[in-house]
């Protein structure tokens, strides 16, 4: 039965990308207070809720294939006074994950949206890469088709700012080889299994990492970071200033 209280905001909750200890106190409190928890994958979210000792909640699947149909019903329930939260499988909802249509449905219905900040593979990889962080571009998942992927990499190499992408472990070696073919010395970083037990950062030139990953089979979730053109290292700037 739908409550008839005042409208409540739909909450988007950032969830761990690997280490479950990264869930925030605020996120846990919101989950405990929720009437309905919409999830990208109810089985995945059930494991997180079990870890947090949260039970008895109504779980509703909301993913790319049904978000358009189910968003309006959830927004109506929020407008009627129920507390609706949404979790994607990992990280912040809407960032290369479902939730965009839900947010827009809220905006159209004049239902408030609250974002409960949490982990992000993009920001984590950027911070740990050692590459410039003052400006960056996030391109989501690199295209699967080689032609489109090559054009996207050409665009990344032409940008001034640092570029970040999600990439499959099955394609990372080919992607690094493609970057090396375009700019052999361009600095890149492969951030792998972030926040998990086997987290690694591989830093170096495109050629160096192409050789490294060409000789081994990559595993796990990968975020690729590419230095933008014309962004000098701090050490390079210092040398130029000394010459002046």
Could you read off the pLDDT of 164-176 as tens digits, one per residue? 999 999 999 999 9
Domain boundary among 72, 101, 116: 116
CA distance 92 to 16: 9
How many angstroms separate the CA atoms of 198 and 211, rounded?
21
> Are 131 and 112 contained in the same domain?
no
pLDDT number for residue 236: 52
Is the pLDDT assigned to residue 196 strictly greater than 60?
yes
Indicate which CATH number applies to the domain containing 70: 3.40.1010.10
Same structural domain, 31 and 88: yes
Q: Is the pLDDT of residue 239 over 80?
A: no
Residues 108, 27 within the same domain: yes
Whether residue 233 has pLDDT greater than 70: no
Indicate whether 71 and 96 sit together in one domain: yes
Last residue of a domain, one of 93, 116, 139: 116
Give the per-residue pLDDT at 21. Answer: 94
Q: Average pLDDT, stretch 93-122?
A: 96
Domain of 141? 121-226
Rounded-to-integer distance, Cα 40 and Cα 44, Å = 8
Paired tokens of 104? 């827009």
Tell me, yes or no, whether 186 and 213 share the same domain.
Answer: yes
Calpha distance 184→198 (Å, rounded): 28
- How far the first Cα of the chain sits from its last, in Å, is 75
**How many domains does the structure of the chain reveal?**
2
Judge whether 236 lies within some domain.
Answer: no
The full DSSP string for 150-186 is HHHHHHHHH-SSEEEEEE-TTTHHHHHHHHHHH-TT-
Note whether 84 and 135 are same-domain residues: no
| Residues 138 and 113 sit within 8 Å (Cβ to Cβ) | no
What average pLDDT does the chain have? 93
Mean of the pLDDT values across residues 96-123?
A: 96
> Three-class SS of residue 212?
helix
Question: Rg of the chain over CA atoms, in angstroms?
Answer: 21
Gap between the Cα atoms of 39 and 205, Å rounded: 39
Co-location of 15 and 100 in the same domain: yes
pLDDT score recorded for residue 240? 43
Strands 10-13 and 36-39 turn out to be unpaired
Q: Domain for residue 3, yes or no? A: no
Q: What is the CATH number of the domain that holds 187?
A: 3.30.950.10
- Token pair 């405990």 in the structure block, residue: 32
How many angstroms separate the CA atoms of 146 and 17, rounded? 28
Q: Report yes or no on 239 lying in a domain.
A: no
Alpha carbon distance 55, 172 (integer Å) = 39
30 part of a folded domain:
yes
Q: Which of 78, 100, 116 is the last residue of a domain?
A: 116
Is residue 36 pLDDT above 60, yes or no?
yes
pLDDT exceeds cutoff 90 at 230: no
pTM: 0.88
Question: Same domain for 80 and 39?
Answer: yes
Whether residue 108 is found in the same domain as residue 131: no
How many other C-beta atoms can be found within 10 angstroms of the C-beta atom of residue 177?
Answer: 16
Q: Which of 61, 54, 62, 51 is nearest to 16 (CA)?
A: 51
Tell me the average pLDDT across 118-142. Answer: 97
- Whether 2 is in a domain gets the answer no
């Amino acid at each position: 039965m739908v409550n008839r209280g005042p409208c409540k905001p739909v909450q988007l909750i950032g969830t761990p990308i690997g280490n479950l200890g990264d869930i925030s106190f605020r996120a846990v409190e919101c989950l405990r207070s929720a009437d309905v928890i919409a999830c990208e994958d109810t089985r995945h979210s059930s494991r997180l809720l079990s870890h947090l000792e949260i039970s008895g909640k109504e779980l509703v699947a909301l993913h790319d294939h049904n978000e358009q149909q189910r968003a309006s019903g959830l927004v109506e329930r929020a407008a009627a006074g129920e507390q609706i939260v949404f979790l994607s499988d990992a990280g912040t909802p809407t960032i290369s994950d479902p939730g965009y249509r839900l947010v827009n449905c809220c905006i159209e219905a004049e239902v408030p949206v609250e974002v409960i900040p949490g982990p992000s593979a993009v920001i984590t990889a950027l911070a740990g890469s050692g590459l410039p962080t003052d400006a960056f571009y996030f391109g989501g998942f690199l295209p699967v088709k080689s032609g489109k992927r090559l054009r996207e990499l050409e665009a990344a190499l032409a940008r001034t700012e640092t570029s970040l992408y999600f990439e499959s472990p099955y394609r990372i070696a080919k992607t690094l080889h493609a970057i090396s073919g375009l700019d052999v010395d361009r600095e890149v970083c492969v951030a792998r299994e972030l926040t998990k037990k086997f987290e690694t950062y591989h830093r170096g030139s495109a050629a160096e990492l192409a050789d490294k990953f060409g000789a081994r089979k990559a595993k796990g979730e990968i975020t690729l970071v590419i230095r933008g053109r014309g962004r000098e290292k701090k050490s390079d700037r210092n040398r130029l200033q000394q010459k002046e």
